[in-house]
């Protein structure tokens, strides 16, 4: 890794924690300001399921008292964070974006990632909106309604971590914990002009997943600066007993030296399509612009046609089987109460055979081995668009086909987000990088993918990219 003349954008989280540690500002003031931003963001874009004013301020006051007493301090000292509302944070309900969980009791305990954020000094200010049981790539929930895109209210903010993307874009918190099982952190990040990171599978453990060995659900992070992702990843990473994928030992630190540029001399594979039939002209131009930025940073970009299986049929079989398992005993009346796309997926999965499931599992392994082979022998990174066309309308019908440059392409998820689903299946680390705005006013992003367990290298590359091409300013900030 050769140092070059780049000044990595420092993270807001680290700066804020340092201010608290040296007494330049109180945690109470920082958390109060974050809560005020949260309420303003909620009024403007509907980002939160719950904002915990009382609990967050109590935690802030406890931290101020600990600082005054000289207690040991963590790297996220007093930093406000938010948590996606399918992840347990003690004292707050987990409602899953679902009317059936409207009256859920407060969680009794944190999941490991949330507990680690809190142990590092972070203050959870609330839970961000999600689609019902995190099933949709759009930003609507029958429990909370529509979460709006702060760049253009008529366009989707992406899903399923809808509120996470919008709230980070609006500057509510410097860091938000989300999930990504198909596109759920990277898509809303790309849709709202921020950075969305999906680490190597279970680097951030997810100990509550029923199908632990077959899981491709990643816990991810969203932020306005790459350095904040690195700090959050260091804090949240590490093994837990109940997540077998996490039991590979303590990972290498994610924080990178200022000025490191792993793109110097790196080989980057460019895939414009990953099984989808079409890519919009605007998206292609944006992705080629990103490739030029990588080349200016010293990389060698080689474009090739995608020659692997389409990831969507594999992803759909595995994911819809998970949905059907959750609702194994649900009758027609109960299914009718769910979001139509979720109910349709459950019904489809009930017709799958054991052979269908086995074929999907084998197909997933084949995708992993093919991508792994490319990254082991020929390339250091893979570059793709995040989505194949500019953002669709906020009220887009999930049963309708995606139209790309005036031509009907096919089902939305299969055509729009194939590049994102692919790397959930393979488990490789991937980050959504904001690149600019489309003609419709919505942000566009690209995806950069790295080798298994090379999360720090990927984040360092993303930080160099951020310096060369900063994200578009959010009009709501």
For the chain, domain boundaries: 12-314+350-468
Residues 205-236 have pLDDT tens digits of 999 888 889 999 999 999 999 999 999 999 99
How far does CA 74 lie from the centroid of its chain?
Answer: 24
Q: Which of 160, 246, 339, 388 is catalytic?
A: 160
Token duo for residue 93: 């309900």
Token duo for residue 45: 């874009």
Q: Which of 161, 184, 215, 388 is catalytic?
A: 184
Q: Phi and psi of 296, rounded to 5°? A: -65, -25
Taking the alpha carbons of 239, 243, 245, 247 in that order, is the dihedral positive or negative? positive
Q: Which CATH class is domain 12-314+350-468?
A: alpha beta
Residues 228-259 have pLDDT tens digits of 999 999 999 999 999 999 998 777 777 665 55
CA-CA distance, 225 to 232, in Å (whole number)?
A: 11
pLDDT, position 477: 76
Q: Is 215 known to be catalytic?
A: no
Could you list the beta-strand ranges (E) of 199-312: 218-223, 267-270, 300-303
Q: Which of 30, 84, 202, 421 is catalytic?
A: 84
Q: Is 316 known to be catalytic?
A: no
User: 143: which residues sit within 8 A by CB, 6+ positions away?
Assistant: 49, 95, 97, 98, 99, 101, 102, 132
Q: Is 160 known to be catalytic?
A: yes
Residues 95-143 have pLDDT tens digits of 999 999 999 999 999 999 999 999 999 999 999 999 999 999 999 999 9
pTM: predicted TM-score of the whole model, two decimal places: 0.96
Identify which of 173, 128, 238 has the alpha carbon closest to the alpha carbon of residue 11: 173
Q: Helix or strand or coil: residue 432?
A: strand
- Give whole-number Cα distances, 48 to 35, 125, 146, 338, 415, in Å: 11, 10, 11, 21, 29
CA-CA distance, 385 to 434, in Å (whole number)?
A: 10
How far does CA 186 lie from the centroid of its chain?
Answer: 4
Identify which of 364, 334, 362 has the alpha carbon closest to the alpha carbon of residue 347: 334
């Amino acid at each position: 890794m050769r140092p070059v003349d780049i000044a990595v954008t420092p993270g807001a989280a680290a700066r804020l924690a340092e201010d608290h540690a040296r007494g330049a500002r109180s945690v109470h003031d920082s958390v109060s300001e974050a809560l005020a931003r949260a309420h303003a963001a909620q009024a403007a874009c509907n980002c939160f399921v719950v904002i915990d004013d009382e609990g967050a301020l109590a935690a802030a006051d406890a931290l101020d008292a600990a600082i005054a007493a000289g207690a040991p301090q963590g790297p996220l000292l007093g930093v406000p964070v938010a948590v996606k509302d399918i992840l347990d944070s003690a004292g707050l309900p987990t409602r899953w974006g679902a009317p059936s969980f409207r009256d859920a009791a407060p969680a009794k305990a944190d999941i490991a990632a949330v507990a680690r954020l809190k142990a590092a000094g972070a203050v959870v200010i609330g839970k961000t909106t999600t689609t019902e049981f995190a099933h949709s790539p759009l930003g609507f929930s029958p429990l909370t309604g529509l979460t709006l895109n702060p760049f253009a209210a008529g366009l989707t903010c992406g899903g399923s971590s809808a509120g996470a993307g919008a709230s980070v874009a609006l500057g509510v918190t410097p860091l938000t914990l989300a999930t990504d099982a198909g596109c759920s952190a990277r898509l809303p990040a790309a849709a709202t002009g921020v950075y969305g990171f999906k680490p190597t599978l279970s680097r951030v453990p997810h100990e509550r997943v029923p199908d632990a060995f077959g899981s491709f659900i990643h816990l991810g992070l969203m932020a306005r600066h790459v350095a904040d992702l690195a700090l959050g990843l260091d804090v949240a990473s590490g093994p837990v007993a109940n997540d077998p994928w996490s039991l590979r030992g303590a990972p290498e630190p994610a924080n990178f030296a200022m000025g490191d540029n792993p793109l110097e001399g790196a080989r980057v594979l460019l895939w414009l399509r990953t099984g989808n039939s079409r890519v919009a002209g605007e998206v292609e131009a944006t992705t080629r612009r990103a490739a030029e930025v990588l080349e200016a940073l010293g990389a060698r970009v080689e474009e090739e046609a995608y020659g692997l299986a389409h990831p969507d049929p594999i992803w759909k079989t595995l994911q819809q089987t998970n949905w059907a398992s959750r609702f194994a005993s649900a009758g027609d009346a109960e299914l009718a109460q769910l979001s139509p796309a979720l109910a349709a997926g459950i019904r489809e999965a009930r017709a799958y055979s054991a052979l269908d499931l086995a074929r999907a599992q084998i197909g997933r392994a084949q995708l992993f081995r093919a991508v792994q082979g490319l990254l082991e022998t020929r390339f250091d990174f893979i570059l793709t668009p995040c989505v194949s066309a500019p953002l669709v309308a906020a009220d887009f019908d999930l049963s309708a086909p995606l139209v790309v440059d005036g031509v009907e392409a096919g089902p939305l998820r299969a055509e729009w987000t194939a590049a994102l689903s692919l790397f959930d299946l393979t488990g490789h680390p991937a980050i959504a990088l904001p690149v600019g705005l489309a003609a419709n006013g919505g942000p566009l992003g690209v995806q950069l993918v790295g080798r298994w367990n090379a999360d720090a290298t990927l984040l360092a590359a993303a930080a160099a990219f951020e310096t060369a091409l900063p994200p578009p300013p959010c009009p709501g900030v």
